[in-house]
Amino acid sequence: MLPLRLVLDTNIVVSAALNAEGPQRTVLLAALTRPARLYVTEPVLSEYRIVLSRPELKIRKGLQQQLLRWVGDRAYMVSPSRQIHAARDPDDDKFLECADASRADYLVTGNLRHFPRFWKQTKVVTSREFVTLIAPHLA
**pLDDT digit string (tens) for 3-55?**
899 999 999 999 999 999 999 999 999 999 988 999 999 999 999 999 999 99
Classify domain 4-138 at the CATH superfamily level: 5'-nuclease (3.40.50.1010)
Q: Tell me, rounded to whole angstroms, the distance of Cα 62 from its chain centroid.
A: 20
Where do the domains of the chain lie?
Answer: 4-138
Q: Is the dihedral of CA 36, 8, 124, 87 positive or negative?
A: negative
> Could you give the residue ranges of the DSSP H alpha helices within 3-92?
10-18, 23-31, 42-52, 61-74
SS3 content of the chain, % helix, strand, coil (to 5): 55, 15, 30
Name the pTM for this structure: 0.94
